[in-house]
Amino acid sequence: MLALNMSKEVLSAFGMISEQVTENNISLQERIITFETSIDSNFEKEDKIWKEKKLAKDQVHEITTNFLTYLTNLQQTPPQKEVKGLKDPINDYEVMDKPDYFDNKFFIGSQGVLKPEGQEFLDKIKAFKRDFVAVVDSLKTGKSDENYVNLINDVIDVFDTESEVINRSGAKTTWIEYNYFGFPEVATNTKLTVMKANVLGFQAELLSAMIGGQYKINATLANFDAYVVSDKAAYFPGSKFSGTIVLGKKSENLQPTAIKINDSEIDPIESLNSEGAIVLDFPVGAVGTREIVGTITFEEGDGEPIEIPVFSNYEVISKPNTASVQVMGRNTLFRNFDNLVKVSVPGVAANLVTASGPGVTSKGDGLYTIKPQKGQELVLKISAELPDDSTFSSSETFQIRRAPVPNILFNGKEGGSMSRSSMVSGSMSAIYDPAYGLESTVRVRSFTVKIGPKAFDCTGNALSAKAKSALKKAPKGFDVSFKKINYAGITAGQKESGPSITIN
């Protein structure tokens, strides 16, 4: 067995390596906690953007924690020994020279045949690899694909337990027999500690990639994000994009070494403004949703480049040919009336659009009133300041009409039957047909009511005392008609015929 030829110094060296890797694992776990906290914090601020990464972080946390717990329970605790001159006992790796514990746990006999515990060890490794890769594979988006693909390949390679191995004798053997059969206990313990380091390293690398940067031991830039801030909401074809790139963390000592946006190199010095933002200025392209993708490269600490991905988009819309002018509720203007009109130009804010013409008054937020006084037509002129700093002008011609004659109602009805008591207490009213979009109040000044053969003049909108007295004496089946109704609304006039009601 290998243990028979291994010196005490070598056994102790294995133990020291295991201790050093364990210390490094603790450091990795601290970084992982920092990365997880960063993702949780971003999720609380922008849950829609970080939802996918938060879910992946939680899944990976559970996968790695379960596997690390299994590996820890699998390892043997080194025995202790007292050393003269030392207050506390130390690990005695020199007595961990036998392969018996793990040979008996994983294998049957000396031929490398697996016990259920040995098969469980292989199954746990395969399950970790499968589940971890599935989470990483679900995050293949945008320009970070390469990071994720490389990580997947590394995990598959490091935890490859299916491939056959050639031993020192030149014979083919299994991965588990080659790595774990016949080795001193301290050596197997160290291998399991290294496996835990690989698990933690891959977890940290994935979390860092999700946050926005390739995992580095110095992670001061790992949590940076690049934000594209556009100067305008939308652009017209032929104009230039105008905006800045702002990093999610500011420092006077940070300056990019390279900037690449949409496959074009940008000078990392000339492009910075006084606030440290990267100024963008390029043709916006054709109509549609356009992407801004690229990378910002920094060098820090060890001098190795750290790339921060950039991803954003903006809209390019067609340049307007005409303004949109809508008379609220209809398509004509009424004379001597405050007609409400909404004016807009596609892609232009309301405060940059102006409408003018006879009787036009601005109400704000694209709304105007137009009150024509005379003539048969009115021309509304529209001008606007476009996002590309050019000027737009248009006009709309409207027909001017006299306001319509209102509908006359008695107790809200134009005809039919009604009880005597309802008629006695009833009143006249007038409204414009809703189809005209007029909400102006119409007042009834006077009218004449005919009850049987007798007619009574009434002032205002209610029956006169004489008309009420005659109505109380009228029998059922009598027709009551209203004539010569004088009204005042947008216009004033007299309607010769009104409602006709039968007493029931």
Query: Which residues, at least 6 apart from 128, have a Cβ–Cβ distance to it below 8 Å?
Result: 63, 64, 67, 159, 199
Q: How far apart are CA 327 and CA 288, in angstroms?
A: 30
Helix axes 47-74, 8-45, angle to 10 degrees: 160
User: Cβ distance 454 to 430 under 8 Å?
Assistant: no
pLDDT at residue 74 is higher than 80:
yes
Between 162 and 92, name the one with better pLDDT: 162
CA angle 299, 302, 304 (to 5 degrees): 45
Across the range 439-462, mean pLDDT stands at 91
Q: How far apart are CA 96 and CA 476, in angstroms?
A: 119
pLDDT at residue 7 is higher than 50:
yes
pLDDT at residue 140 is higher than 70:
no
Across the range 397-413, mean pLDDT stands at 88
Across the range 139-152, mean pLDDT stands at 70
pLDDT at residue 72 is higher than 50:
yes
pLDDT tens-digit profile of 205-239? Answer: 999 888 864 333 333 444 455 555 666 655 566 66
DSSP bridge partners of 7: none
Q: Among 15-19, 212-216, 425-429, 479-483, which is the least confidently predicted range?
A: 212-216
Nearest C-alpha neighbor of 217 from the set 302, 293, 296: 302
Helix, strand, coil % in the chain, rounded to nearest 5: 35, 30, 35
DSSP bridge partners of 247: 226
The DSSP symbol for 37 reads H
Across the range 49-65, mean pLDDT stands at 92
pLDDT tens-digit profile of 97-124? Answer: 888 888 889 999 767 689 999 999 999 9
Across the range 485-499, mean pLDDT stands at 89
Across the range 287-305, mean pLDDT stands at 75
Give the pLDDT band of residue 16 (cuts 50, 70, 90).
confident
Give the pLDDT band of residue 461 (cuts 50, 70, 90).
very high
Terminal C-alpha separation, the chain: 119
For residue 154, count other CB atoms closer than 10 A to its CB: 14
Across the range 378-399, mean pLDDT stands at 86
How do strand 107-108 and strand 113-114 relate by DSSP bridges? antiparallel
Q: Three-state secondary structure along 266-301?
A: ECCCCCECCCCCEEEEEECCCCEEEEEEEEEEEECC
pLDDT at residue 129 is higher than 60:
yes
Q: How far apart are CA 326 and CA 344, in angstroms?
A: 9
Q: How far apart are CA 129 and CA 181, in angstroms?
A: 22
DSSP secondary structure of 58-122: HHHHHHHHHHHHHHHHHSPPPPEE--TT-SS-EE-GGG----HHHHHHHEETTTTEEPHHHHHHH
User: Cβ distance 377 to 358 under 8 Å?
Assistant: no
Q: Among 282-286, 370-374, 399-403, 423-427, which is the least confidently predicted range?
A: 282-286
Between 43 and 327, name the one with better pLDDT: 43
Indicate the average pLDDT of the chain: 82
DSSP secondary structure of 426-462: -BEEEE--GGG-----BEEEEEEEEETTEEEEEETTB
Quote the pLDDT of residue 302. 52
pLDDT tens-digit profile of 86-99? Answer: 777 777 777 788 88
pLDDT tens-digit profile of 262-278? Answer: 888 988 888 877 766 78
For residue 456, count other CB atoms closer than 10 A to its CB: 18
Q: How far apart are CA 488 and CA 479, in angstroms?
A: 27
Q: Among 286-300, 302-316, 331-345, 469-483, which is the least confidently predicted range?
A: 302-316
Quote the pLDDT of residue 213. 41
Tokens read off for 14: 């294995």
Quote the pLDDT of residue 292. 85
